[in-house]
Amino acid sequence: MVNIEQKVYDTIFIIAMRDATLRNAYEGKKKDLGNPNNFPITLNCLITLYKKLLDDEYTSQEDYDKDLLKFIELMCNEVNSFTQNNKFTFGNAQKFFNIAAKEFYKSIILCGKYNSMRNNFRFCHCPQDQQLIQLIWKQRKLLPNYINLGSRKEFNKSWGKENFENYIYPKRYLIFQEAVNYFCEQLINNHGDIINSIEFDFDNWNKF
């Protein structure tokens, strides 16, 4: 018997892992990273994230951020234990879970659930990658003074090298998300709503 639901989760895992380890973003060997069976803890985190989003269990940004950080930590520990090289970073793991959330969001949009389920994803983060980092940097003069990106060198460094700071969110990652949220507030989608962080990614990821 084929477990279709599990196969769908496995596929999303593979898609997200591929994005999380693209090109030079991950410096370790990639063999077997795309096999969900090697990472049951991470796969369970992915499924938990989806079910909580589906059931609208997140009632605050703090709740969502806490869960996401926990999932990222668990994934880093599991992948680095498997590969035994400690090269899988916060940057890789955030990309994995943020891309997974994007895939989940895509499914509800394409199934015509925009009005009933869009709000479930209001606390999700924008995937941090080099294209969007560069986009934010190029538009830095449009940001208010309280959002300080810092130096070009620090802000534009590889997202794959972004790592934990005492198991809290790295400063650059938080500034990136704050900048994305600011730009989201200036944009309206075709439904007349202020865009969210995932929609910002859909709109901008391929503009370079």
What's the pLDDT score for residue 157? 93
pLDDT digits (tens, 9 = 90+) for 21-72: 998 899 888 889 999 999 999 999 999 999 999 999 999 999 999 999 999 9
pLDDT digits (tens, 9 = 90+) for 85-110: 889 999 999 999 999 999 999 999 99
- Four-CA torsion 205, 172, 67, 124, nearest 10 degrees: -30
What's the pLDDT score for residue 208? 57
Largest CA distance in the chain: 58
DSSP line for 133-168: HHHHHHTGGGS-TT-----HHHHTS-GGG---SSSS
Q: What is the value of pTM for the model shown?
A: 0.96
Query: What is the rounded average pLDDT for all residues in the chain?
Result: 94
pLDDT digits (tens, 9 = 90+) for 175-201: 999 999 999 999 999 999 999 999 999
What's the pLDDT score for residue 164? 83
Residue pair 143/182 in contact (Cβ under 8 Å)? The answer is yes
